[in-house]
Structure 1
Amino acid sequence: MAKVMVSLPDELLRLLDAEAARRGTTRSGLLRDFADQSLRRRAVDRATRVDKIARAAGAHGGDVAAVLKRHRPAGGTSGSSTRACCWPARTPTTTTTPTRGGCWRGQIRWLRSISLTTR
């Protein structure tokens, strides 16, 4: 078991010693119990909050696919299809990383315009 040094104010140490004596345990045992209880309670509280958030979350209430299709630019952003523009075939001379000024900027502008028009 690891040993640690902890600095505590004198008054707090006096209260801890009194509580340890009342419980019939050592100072270390009392601090170990307090830490264990606190961490377990925190884990339970966190799980309860996550569960509450998950139960409160619901569907967004819209048809995302329909909104995207309705606002999709015809022919992609570079004059070719979106798939050919954004996801080039892997060959020794091409990469999947978009180049500066490539179609990703157009896609971002397009997504921003959708979010502005659907609010």
Structure 2
Amino acid sequence: MILYFYPKDATPACTAQACSLRDNYQMLLAKGYIVLGVSVDNEKSHQKFIKKHELPFDLLADIDKKIVNDYAVWAEKSMYGRTYMGIVRTTFVIDEKGIIEEIIQKVDTKNHAEQILG
């Protein structure tokens, strides 16, 4: 399974990442992966994002931040001198037994599927 955490629907980097996974989805499936994206956006936002970009995989709405906290990707971030809490873009490659095989912390959003398939 590819479990990827991203900050926000419809932002440029998050869109590039989702589209990289979409464009290479058949290759990911052929390798036995399913893809799940997670952000703290709500279901309505996710459905709009999926429809606009024709994403073939599900996005989980982690509004209560349980999953992002369980995977330790909810952290303090900084932008333009301001600190805030948000998702640290991270991808987990998980085997069929639920064992994390790889954690990708330096995500190349435009080439993310190639980074996974590497």
Give TM-score, length-normalised by structure 1. Answer: 0.18
- State the structure with more CA Rg: 1
Give TM-score, length-normalised by structure 2. Answer: 0.18
Q: Which has the higher contact order (CA 8 A, sep 6+)?
A: 2
